[in-house]
Amino acid sequence: MSSSSSSAFFILFTFFSLFVLPSSSSLVFPLTHSFSSTQFNSTHHLLKSTTTHSATRLRHHRHRHRQVSLPLTPGSDYTLSFSLGAQTISLYMDTGSDVVWLPCHPFDCILCEGKFNPKAIPSPGPINLTSALPVTCKSPACSAVHSSLPSSDLCSIAKCPLEDIEISDCKKYSCPPFYYAYGDGSFIAKLYSDELSIPMSSPSLILRNFTFGCAHSALGEPIGVAGFGRGRLSLPAQLANSSPEIGNYFSYCLVSHSFDATRVHRPSPLILGRYTVDEKMKQMKTYNDDYAYTPMLENPKHPYFYSVGLEAVSIGKTKIPAPASLRRVDSGGNGGMVVDSGTTFTMLPLKFYETVVKEFDRRVGPVYKRANRVEERTGLNPCYYLDTGSVMSGSNVPQLLLHFGGNSSVVMPRRNYFYEFVDDEKVKRRVGCVMLMNGGDEKESGPAGILGNYFQQGFEVVYDLEKKQVGFARRKCASLWDNLNQH
């Protein structure tokens, strides 16, 4: 997105400014929001672009040929920066993908002009490979990135002689390049390994064989990705090999932004490992040590997804059961709800979405006039003029709860599911829109729904990979950052 840039929220996560918490095995990273709205001439334009790209991301979660689920700009995307060898690189953070890849010299990026804001992403690359070594075709990592193809097939593609394949002596032959396609672009990369260092108090944490993809050509995507998914090549998985207490448990707490940079005054913490809760934190009015945990669902086709079961949605006192497609994942890898940091909006299958918003409209429609023009311009539905009812400022909006598997329920803050803003037509009016989207026919292959990052704001979202569960706890994320930072 050149200097005109994306309206995306970018989060900078740097291994050079981390904090180590004493008496606990955890690392805390500052996630810094950077917002630029110069590419969009109105809130409607911003929301319309974000809804379009959220829908595109869901489609590509469903129909993909070993694709990385890359964050799609614009939207609420997050970037992280770390050091590889002697160089620093900024990458998108994505819980919906399982590979780390980055642009390398020489790098040819087709249709990439204006794809990112240089002021928002400090170190976009490409980098020079100076100490990295190519991964061999015999490596399990090579098989993993090629959808578990046998090493004999991969070494054959790498032109290892038959006699060497038969005696498993193909160490001199590199893993073949791999192709990934996503939303509105694609890339080809080769696997390399290098030393990744994370400075800690004592001793330094060093990953000596950190594996990543190096791309020399891409279409429409100049920024790499740090996959935080469940695959063996994701960043947490590789950390877990040397420090399981750090790699097998991580969380983040996204400061609420409402698409307005002036609302963000603190970084959002990203925490690897379990942190110690001291007395000061326990005395915080907003601190609740009770997490609502829900089991991760195993997905045989997309094992890197953090899939959970959504049992029902409550609008006020009306509990609406979810279809079977949202409650479980079948043997073909279809169904479930993916907890995804790379998608802005929460998406539900068509019939269930219609039932939920119909109940919402039944309660809100008699009080506020529908803003049909706003719905057309933003892609959100339903929207209401909040200055037309007897009750002002949307205070008549019903409560929304998500009921997950494992008998856990999460009460959503109103600002997470009902976005209020000023309509910038000729006559400025206060508007509110439901922050849910139609995810299409539930009979389609792939995940049935997505829990987007906008719904996740104001919660500490925990990924416990040992117990295979995802947890949610209400937090004032800025206060959590302050308390963790003081240790």
Whether 340 sits among the annotated catalytic residues: the reply is yes
CB-CB contact of 213 with 430 (8 Å): no
Give strand pairing partners of 308.
296, 337
> In 3-state terms, what secondary structure has residue 105?
strand
Q: Please, how many CA atoms are within 13 Å of residue 341, restricted to the half-sphere of its CB?
A: 28
CA distance 231 to 95: 10
Instruction: State phi, psi for 357 to the nearest 5 degrees.
Output: -70, -25
Beta carbons within 10 angstroms of residue 426's beta carbon: 5
Of 77, 194, 340, 423, the catalytic one is 340
Distance of CA 134 to the CA centre of its chain: 28
Task: Give the active site residue among 94, 98, 194, 423.
Answer: 94
Q: Where are the beta strands (DSSP E) in 220-350?
A: 224-227, 249-253, 268-273, 292-297, 307-308, 310-315, 318-321, 337-339, 346-348
- DSSP state, 262? G
Q: Which residues pair with 30 in a beta bridge?
A: 269
Contact partners, residue 327, CB within 8 Å, separation at least 6 = 309, 310, 311, 335, 336, 405
Ramachandran sector of residue 143 (left: φ over 0; alpha: ψ -120 to 50; beta: rest): alpha
* Residue 280 exposed, middle or buried by CB count within 10 Å (0-12, 13-18, 19+): exposed
Residues with active-site annotation: 94, 340
